[in-house]
Structure 1
Amino acid sequence: MINKIKSSTIVEHGQQKMKIACLFLKKFLHDWSLNFAAMLAFNLLISLLPMAVAFFGILGIVLRNNPYAQQEIKDKIINSFSN
């Protein structure tokens, strides 16, 4: 009899925890959280492109008269992507 009481309270406790998890998941999906995360990631990538173009443009102006530094930076960039 005691085992049945203990097991039923354990089951009820487990059901309560599962209900909380299901409610959280339901709210998470109804709040469009995954869509907002995708939009944020896309906007971050889109905003990085103009910054990279500006950075490399300024770098090209600064290193215009230094071919050794230009080649060194090119080699570092190529080596960072090949590994």
Structure 2
Amino acid sequence: MTPDEAAEWMLAEFEAKRFLYQEEAATHLLHLHDEQLAYYDGNGNVCVGRKVLTAFNKLTPDAVYERTEKFWRDRLPSDQSGRQQ
């Protein structure tokens, strides 16, 4: 699976539920055994690969990332500008 294909998979998951938890996506991608797609950071957290995130962000310009809960969701009128909330 390429980073673009991984981002497409994440988009399908996001569109099905209108939200996507980072850990859910990263854990799924981690099972593909490709550190471009997902990896463990220095704190032992599972993370989505940077190339995958870049592609996913391009596919979801109206999504925001909730840092405290670590998930993407649809942008609300009350959201601040920017990607992270």
TM-score over 0.5 (shorter chain): no
Larger RCO (CA under 8 A, 6+ residues apart): 2
Q: Which has the higher helix share?
A: 1
Rg larger in structure: 1
Q: Normalised by the shorter chain, which TM-score bucket? A: under 0.3
